[in-house]
Structure 1
Amino acid sequence: MLRGLTTISFFADDVAAAARWYGELLGIEPYFARPIEGTPAYVEFRVGDYQHELGIIDSRFAPHRPDTAGGAVAYWHVDDVEAAFERLLSLGVTAHEKPIERGPGFVTASVVDPFGNVLGVMYNQHYLEVLNR
């Protein structure tokens, strides 16, 4: 039934500001933008080894927006969770969950981005095993 991750969608009141922030974090520009009334209502980045999509959507299109960050956490593989966590902190995020080892070969951490979305990072040995096949 579930065949793979297609798009992670984050919401922001200011999509242009979020696109700049994520562009700085990722070191790339969005490859796609859909403007409405001259400003972007949606931008999309292709990220990582499998070119997964990270979409930033104008908050006015959110089906539900809680008052606090929470819900499901999507984890992006990184080679060094501590370094990634420190880099994120340097870009002005709020710590959501500091790095923690979940078992041999699995370390996670998460932050709340400046736009209220939870961003997870993880070292995952299974990800690397699949990538190396």
Structure 2
Amino acid sequence: MFRGFATISYFADDMTAAETFYTQLLGIPPYFRRDADGQTAYIEYRIGDYQAELGIIHSRFAPYGPPAGPAGVIMQWHVDDLPATLNRLLELGAKELQGITPRGEGFVTASVVDPFGNIIGIMTNPHYLSVLATTQPLPGE
């Protein structure tokens, strides 16, 4: 049974540039890193209301060859201000894949391709907000 999003993994050839991009975008440094053969192989961020994990993996560990173009699942990240988030992504060097697109009943999406070829989806999602409003903090939070 699917229980919820745990970790999403993006791939990058240049881990230093990827860390710079995502640290600037998210406003926090990665909390975890793993090296292989003296090079950064993996970095991970915990972000958002549920501390979702975003892992950046060196492309040499991809289970498939390098993609010919933008690749990956379009994981839609809920954001509070879609136009501002889209603009921030573009300022950091992402390229627009699909502009702001209303999907009906308050659902609005957009997507970009990061400088490493990964697709980042962003959206306003009323369902996300309603679930968030009903969640209780875990003990100790």
TM-score (norm 2): 0.91
CA distance in structure 2 between the aligned counterparts of 1:108 and 1:96, rounded to whole angstroms: 11
**Structure 1 residue 96 and structure 2 residue 123: aligned?**
no
Aligned residue in 1 for 2:50: 50
How many Å separate the matches in 2 of 1:19 and 1:91? 12
- In the alignment, the residues of structure 1 paired with residue 17 and residue 72 of structure 2 have an alpha-carbon distance, to the nearest angstrom, of 23
Unaligned runs of 5+ in 1: none
CA distance in 2, matches of 1:38, 1:72: 30
Q: 1:103 is aligned with what amino acid?
A: G
* Percent of aligned pairs with the same amino acid: 57
Q: 1:64-103 maps to which residues of 2 (within 5 A)?
A: 64=64, 65-103=66-104
Instruction: Return structure 1 stretches of 4+ with deviation > 3 angstroms.
Output: none
Aligned equivalents of 1:10 and 1:72: distance in 2?
9
State the Cα RMSD in Å: 1.0
Q: Is the 8 A contact 1:16 1:39 kept in 2?
A: no
* Aligned pairs, number: 133
The residue type equivalent to 2:96 in the other structure is A
Give how far 1:71 is off: 4.4
Moved more, 67-76 or 116-125: 67-76
Contact persistence 2:72–2:118 (CA under 8 A): no
Q: Does 1:25 align with 2:10?
A: no
Q: Which moved more, 1:47-56 or 1:57-66?
A: 57-66
Please list every run of 5 or more consecutive structure 2 residues that lacks an aligned counterpart in the other structure.
Answer: 135-141
Letter in 1 for 2:14: D
**What is the identity, as a one-letter code, of the residue corresponding to 1:22?**
Y
Task: After superposing the two structures, state which structure 1 stretch, 38-47 or 63-72, moved more.
Answer: 63-72
Counterpart in 2 of 1:35? 35
TM-score in terms of structure 1 length:
0.96
Residues 1:125 and 2:126 aligned together = yes
- CA displacement, residues 32-73 of structure 1 (integer Å, 9 cap, x when unaligned): 000123321000000100000000000000012321113420
Larger radius of gyration: 2
Distance in 2, matches of 1:92 and 1:21, equals 8
